[in-house]
Amino acid sequence: MAAPDAQLRAAVESALGEVRARIEAAGRSPDDVQIVAVTKGFGPDAVVAALGAGLATVGENYAQELLTKASVAPEGVRWHFLGPVQRNKVKALHPHVALWHGVDREAAGREIIKHAPAAPVLVQVNLSGDPARPGVSWGDAPALVDALRTIGLDVRGLMGVAGLDGARQQFSRLARLARDVEVEGLSMGMSGDFEIAVSEGATIVRIGTALFGARPGATQVRR
């Protein structure tokens, strides 16, 4: 019988093949869409399996989880931080983070730039408008993009998590906003809605359960 790590890697490879096929079926070349392997809730073995399957970009939502996994992960992982940026966590996180997806206020950007000049960031927009969810409002997003550029961050794009209803309309609105504020990057789409997201122009999808199965912990995405 194969070792558990080889089994996990084979499972992730096969799941990745399926995700790529679904991206293609949704009308996009899988080579044009970056897949971030979201390993939150799983152990470091999931990171190793992702890397083995060819997914070197790994996303985490929680600072401590990222730091713990980064301390044991093999070389070559590019970490994306997906969670809201808590200012007291930036100092520890920044040496590891290749892209911050969750910048939704200027204070977070100022904290990042204090440690990482010209760091690449995405501005998270609150797609559903639910005040309990992270993200800058639609109306305030353009000014935030400007403010972050002004202080010297490299604003690569926009990020959003769709609400339960109306994902297509929300993703297409985010794509329009990206054109308006002249950014290329569009991080949108998760396991449940990535086909809609890629058909609306996503350049980055963030995929957890479709690659690794259901998360063992209670870290389901709040919608």
Residues that bind ligand PLP (CB under 6 A): 38, 40, 61, 82, 161, 190-192, 206-210, 221
Q: Which is nearer to ligand PLP, 90 or 210 (CB)?
A: 210
CB 31 within 8 A of CB 75: no
Task: Work out how close the CB of 4 gets to ligand PLP at its nearest, in angstroms, rounded to a whole number.
Answer: 21
Q: State which residue has the least CB distance to ligand PLP.
A: 208
Strands, E assignment, 85-125: 97-103, 120-125
For residue 40, CA distances in Å to 32, 46, 100, 139 come to: 24, 9, 15, 31
* Beta strands in 15-106, from DSSP E residues, in sequence order: 34-38, 57-60, 78-81, 97-103
End-to-end distance of the chain based on CA atoms, in angstroms? 40
What tokens were used for 14?
A: 């096969």
Q: Considering beta carbons, is residue 52 or 213 the nearer one to ligand PLP?
A: 213
In whole angstroms, how close is the CB of 150 to ligand PLP at the nearest point?
Answer: 26
Angle at Cα 210 formed by Cα 172 and Cα 23, nearest 5°? 45
Q: How far is the CB of 7 from ligand PLP (least distance, A)?
A: 20
Least distance from ligand PLP to the Cβ atom of residue 190, Å: 4
Which C-beta is closer to ligand PLP: that of 40 or that of 156? 40
Choose between 43 and 152: whose C-beta lies nearer to ligand PLP: 43
Closest to ligand PLP by CB, 27 vs 217, is 217
